Amino acid sequence: MQSRTQVNKPVVASNAGLSLEQEAMDPEPTEQDADAQEDVEPVKEKASLDKAEEALDPCLTHSADNTAFDQAFDYLNTKFCQPAIWFDSFFVDDRTQEDARAGTLVRWTNDFSYYFKEGFKYRANLNARFNLPGVNQKLKVIIDSQGEDDPFAFLKGPDDEGERDIGLRYDWYAKDRVSFNIKANFKPKLEARWRYTYPISQGTITRLTQKIYQEKKVTGESTEFDIEHSFDEDFLLRWSVVAQYENRDNGWEFGSSVNLYHYISSKQALNYIASIYGVDTPYHYVENARIAITYRQNFARDWLFFEITPEYNWSKEIDTDRLDQAIITFRLEVMFQNI
The pLDDT tens digits of the residues spanning 89-101 come to 777 665 555 554 5
**AA letter at 81:** C
More confident residue, 136 or 290: 290
Q: 77 and 97: one domain?
A: no
| Residue-wise burial string across 46-66, b where 16 or more C-beta atoms lie within 10 A, e elsewhere | eeeeeeeeeeeeeeebebeee
Q: Is residue 20 in some structural domain?
A: yes
Residues 226 and 287 grouped into a single domain: yes
The arithmetic mean of pLDDT across residues 271-285, rounded, is 86
Higher pLDDT, 205 or 135: 205
More confident residue, 205 or 128: 205
The verdict on residue 27 lying in a domain is yes
Query: Are the CB atoms for 273 and 282 separated by under 8 Å?
Result: no
- Given this model, what pLDDT does residue 251 score? 78
Please write the tens of the pLDDT for every residue from 230-276.
998 899 999 999 999 988 777 789 999 999 999 999 999 999 999 99
115 and 239 assigned to the same domain = yes
Assess whether pLDDT exceeds 80 at residue 217. Answer: yes
End position of a domain, from candidates 81, 104, 132:
81
Per-residue pLDDT at 81: 52
175: confidence class by pLDDT, cuts 50, 70, 90: confident
Q: Do residues 43 and 154 share a domain?
A: no
Residue numbers of the domain that contains 67? 15-81
**Number of domains the chain is built from:** 2
* Per-residue pLDDT at 212: 95
CA-closest candidate to residue 197, choices 91, 61, 66: 61
Among 48, 64, 81, the domain boundary falls at: 81
Who's near 111: CB < 8 A, 6+ residues apart? 121, 122, 123, 124, 125, 158, 329, 330, 331
Q: Which among 193, 191, 246 has a CA at the least distance from the CA of 213? A: 191
For residue 98, give the nearest of 129, 121, 120 by alpha carbon: 129
Whole-number pLDDT of residue 52: 45
**Which residue type does 327 have?**
I
Higher-confidence position of 323 and 237: 237
Segment 196-225 shows an average pLDDT of 91
Q: Are residues 63 and 159 in the same domain?
A: no
Indicate if 128 and 74 belong to the same structural domain: no
Q: Is 4 within the bounds of a domain?
A: no
pLDDT digits (tens, 9 = 90+) for 18-46: 333 344 444 555 555 555 454 544 444 44
Q: Look at residue 49 and tell me whether its pLDDT is greater than 50.
A: no
Closest CA to 168 of 147, 188, 153: 188
**Would you say residue 6 lies in a domain?**
no
Q: Is residue 199 part of a domain?
A: yes
pLDDT of residue 144: 75
Quick one: 211 and 328 in the same domain?
A: yes
List, in sequence order, every residue forming a beta bridge with 95; answer none if it has no partner.
none
pTM (2 decimals)? 0.70
Q: Are residues 163 and 254 in the same domain?
A: yes
Q: What is the mean pLDDT of residues 155-178?
A: 74
User: Given this model, what pLDDT does residue 69 score?
Assistant: 54
Check whether residue 175 and residue 314 sit in a common domain. yes
pLDDT digits (tens, 9 = 90+) for 176-205: 789 899 999 888 889 999 999 988 888 899
Are residues 333 and 312 located together in one domain of the fold?
Answer: yes
Answer whether 183's CB lies under 8 Å from 203's CB.
Answer: no
Stronger pLDDT, 305 or 337, i.e. the higher one: 305
What CATH number did the domain enclosing 283 receive?
2.40.160.40
Residue 269 located in a structural domain = yes
Q: What is the pLDDT of residue 50?
A: 44
| Percent of residues, the chain, with pLDDT higher than 70 | 63
Which residues, in sequence order, are CB contacts of 19 under 8 Å at separation 6+? none
Among 64, 81, 98, which residue terminates a domain? 81
CB 277 within 8 A of CB 152: yes
**pLDDT greater than 80 at residue 77:** no
Q: Residues 56-71: pLDDT tens digits? A: 444 555 555 666 656 5
Specify whether 59 is located in the same domain as 204: no
Using alpha carbons, select from 236, 204, 269 the residue that is nearest to residue 83.
236
**In angstroms, how far apart are the furthest CA atoms of the chain?**
94
2 found inside a domain = no
Same structural domain, 68 and 104: no
265 φ, ψ (degrees, to nearest 5)? -155, 180
